[in-house]
Structure 1
Amino acid sequence: MHRIVFLDRDTVAPAVTIRRPSFPHEWVEYGRTQADEVIGRAADATIIINNKVDLRAETLARLPQLQLIAIAATGTDCVDKQAAADRGIPTVNIRGYAKATVPEHSFALLLALARSIVPYRQEVLAGEWQKAGQFCFFSNPIVDLSGKRLGLVGAGVLGNQVAEIARAFGMEVVLYDPAAKPGQAGIVSLDELIETSDVISLHCPLTNETRGMLDLAAFRRMKRRPIIINTARGGLIVEEDLEVALDEGLVSAAGLDVTLPEPPPLDSAFMRLARRSNVICTPHVAWASTEAQQALVDQLIDNIENFVAGNPTNVVAPD
C-alpha cells in the first residue's frame, strides 16, 4: 500500500477539495514543512506531494521508499530532478491549469500600472480631489495600451494566452523563447525584445539560463522605459537593479507577483519596491483563482493515479 505524504498542504487554499486517490493508500499531510523536517516526516513515503519544499540530493538519498515526487505546481526548481532520476524517481508536475488566471493577473497588474489606478485611489482617499477643486486632477501619468509593443519572454501556454489578450487591446506582440523554432512568426531575439518593447512580461521558468536575465545591463538597453511584469519566478529579475532602473527612469513601472525567497524579508529589495507608487507587488497569487486551484489538485491526483497504474503523465526531464 502506498504512503502519500503532502509536505505543504497550506500552499493550496483550505476551501479547495482534494479528492483522495482511488487505489489503497495512507494519506498524511502537513501544513508546512521545513527542509530539515522532510526526512522525519517522509522517511517511509512512497509518494511525496510537494509544492515549494526543497528536495535536494542529500535528502532524496535518505528516502529509500520514495517512488514518485508529485509537484503541486508547474515549477519544479525546488527538486533536484537529476538526483531523483538517478535514483529512478520520476518528478511530475501540473500543466495548463493556469491558462486563464495567470494571464488575467498579469493584465490586471499592467492595466493598473498603465492607468495609475493605485496612486489615484490613494489620493482620492487622502482628499486630494477636494483640494484640486475641479472635476479631475492630473497627478499621475495615464497611458493607453493600444498601439504599444508587448514583449513576452516565454512562448508557452501562458505567454501565448497573454498575447491573445494583448492583441484584443490593440497591442503589437513579440515573443522571445529559446525553445522556439527559428523563423517562427512573432519570435524575436531577447536583445530586440528588450530594446523595443513598451511592456515586458515574463512567462518562462527559472533556469541557469534565465536567472537574473533582467539585470542593470538589460535595463540600460531598454529604450522605451517599459513597464515590467513578472508573474513567473522571482529570480528572473535582479531586484536591486530594478530599484536603480526605477530611480534612473530606465523603466517606468513594475508589477511583481514573485520574488526570492518567498516570503521576502522585511528589509528586502522586494519590500522596498512594494512601497513605490509606480510598483504593485502581490504575494505569488497570480495562479490562485478558485477555478485554477481546483483544476490543479484534480490534475495532481490524476498524475498520481496514472503513475500507480503504470502510465505516468507530466514527467519532467532533469535540467
Structure 2
Amino acid sequence: MNIVILDGHTLNPNDLSWEPFKTFGQVTVYDRTPTEKLIGRSKDAEVLLINKIKLGKTELDQLPKLKYIGLCATGTDNVDLLETNNRNIAVTNIPAYGTPSVAQHTFALLLELTNRVGIHNKSVQELEWVRSKDFSYFKKPLVELYDKTIGLIGYGAIGKEVAKIATAFGMNVLIYSRHADSVEHGKLVDLQELFETSDIVSLHTSLTEDTKGLINKALLRKMKNTAFLINTSRGAIINESDLADRLNNNKIAGAALDVLSTEPPSADNPMLTAKNCIITPHISWISKEARQRLIDIAYNNLKAYLNQNSVNRV
C-alpha cells in the first residue's frame, strides 16, 4: 500500500514518529506540499494523510488510485465529502484529540485578556518596577473572573471541557447549541440572550455554511462594551471586518483569537491591527501530548479501515 503524508510538518516537526504507519506499506512524508506539486506527489497514493490540504473535485478527478483520506484534524471543511462519497473514498477525521489542550488555551487567552501578564512582565523587564515609587502598580485594569458570565457557542467535547473549567473558576455558564437538549454545567440559551448577557463569548463550533460569518455586526452590537470575544475554533466563523470595527471603536473590551479566516493571514487582515486584540498562530491544538494522540488515532483509523471496520468515518 502506498501511503503519502502531504503536510506533516505542523503535526510532527521531527519530535514524534511516523514509523507505525510503515506496518501498512510504503510511507512518504512531505513537510509541506504547494498546490502545484499536490497531484504529482499524490497520483500513485492509495492513502493520503492530510491536515489542511484542500481536496475538491478537480484534485480527486486526478487521483484514480485513491481509496482513503485520513484527515489529521477534527474539521472536515477542506475536503469535498460529497465527491469522496460518490467515489467511495473513505474519509476519517480525528475527534477529541485536542480537547484538553484547546480548552487550556482558551483560558490562557482569557487570562491574558483579564490579567495582562504579558504587558506587566514586559514592564518589569523594562525596569519600570525598579523605578517605581510604589511597591505595586498596574498598566491596565485587571478583571476578576469569579461570578462573570461566559457564553459558549457550541457544546461538543471542547465546549463541555471549557464549561467545566469555567465552573471551577466560579463563573456562570451560558450555552448556545444547535444539538444539545441538556447540559451538565450552565444552561442553554438562544444567541441573542447569550450575546446580551455574557461578559465573555467563546466559540467552540465547527465551520459550516450555517456558521460561516455567524459572528457579525448584528450579534457583536449586542455585546456589552466590557465584554471579551475568544475564538479557538475556526476563523471564518467571525466576520473579521465587523469585529475589527467594534474593537477599534471601543464597543467591546477586547478579543483573543487563535484562528483567522485565512492562515497564514495576509498582511492587510484587519485583525492584525485591531485595538485590544490578542492573536496566537493557531496553536491551541499543538501541545506534544495532543499531537501524539492525533497520530495514534490516525494510525488506528487506518488500521480499522484496512480491517474493514468503520472508525471515525465522516
Is the pair's TM-score, using the shorter chain for normalization, greater than 0.5? yes
Does the 8 Å contact 2:95/2:312 carry over to 1? yes
What is the RMSD of the two structures over their aligned residues, measured on CA atoms?
1.8
Find out whether 1:262 has 2:263 as its counterpart: yes
User: What is the distance in 1 between the residues matched to 2:35 and 2:91?
Assistant: 18
Q: Kindly indicate whether residue 200 of structure 2 is the aligned counterpart of residue 202 of structure 1.
A: no
Amino acid at match of 2:227: P
Contact 1:198 1:224 in 2 (8 A): no
Q: Distance in 1 between matches of 2:273 and 2:76?
A: 28
1:192-229: CA deviation from partner (whole Å, max 9, x where unpaired): 11111100111111111111111122111113531111
Q: Would the alpha carbon gap of residues 189 and 182 (structure 1) be closer, same or farther in structure 2, given more than 3 Å must change?
A: farther
Shift of 1:126: 3.1
Higher relative contact order (CA 8 A, sep 6+): 1
**Which of these residues, 277, 291, 296, is aligned with residue 279 of structure 1?**
277
AA matched with 1:151: G
Check whether the contact 2:21–2:27 (CA below 8 A) recurs between aligned residues: no
User: Counterpart in 2 of 1:12?
Assistant: 11
1:227 is matched with which residue? 228
Counterpart secondary structure, 2:152: strand
Partner of 1:129: 129
Match of 2:180 in 1: 180
Say if 1:19 and 1:298, in contact at 8 Å, map to a contact too.
no
Give the distance between the partners of 1:191 and 1:16, measured in 2 at CA.
Answer: 44
Shift of residue 179 of structure 1?
A: 1.7
Q: Deviations over 1:46-67 (max 9, x none)?
A: 1110000110111111110111
Aligned to 1:190: 191
* CA contact 1:195–1:224 (8 Å) conserved in 2: no
Unaligned 5+ segments in structure 1 are none
Q: Tell which deviates more after alignment, 151-160 or 6-15.
A: 6-15
Q: Percent identity, aligned pairs only?
A: 38
Task: Give yes or no for contact 2:244–2:271 (8 Å, CA) kept in 1.
Answer: no
Aligned residue for 2:219, secondary structure, equals helix
Q: Give, as a single letter, the amino acid of the residue that structure 1 aligns with 2:190.
A: S
Q: What SS does the corresponding residue of 1:208 show, helix, strand or coil?
A: coil
Quick check: 1:152–1:202 contact (8 Å CA) kept in 2?
yes
> Under a length normalisation based on structure 1, what TM-score does the superposition of the two structures give?
0.93
Equivalent residues, number: 312
How far 1:129 sits from its partner (Å)?
3.0
Alignment of 1:306-317 (within 5 A): 306-316=304-314
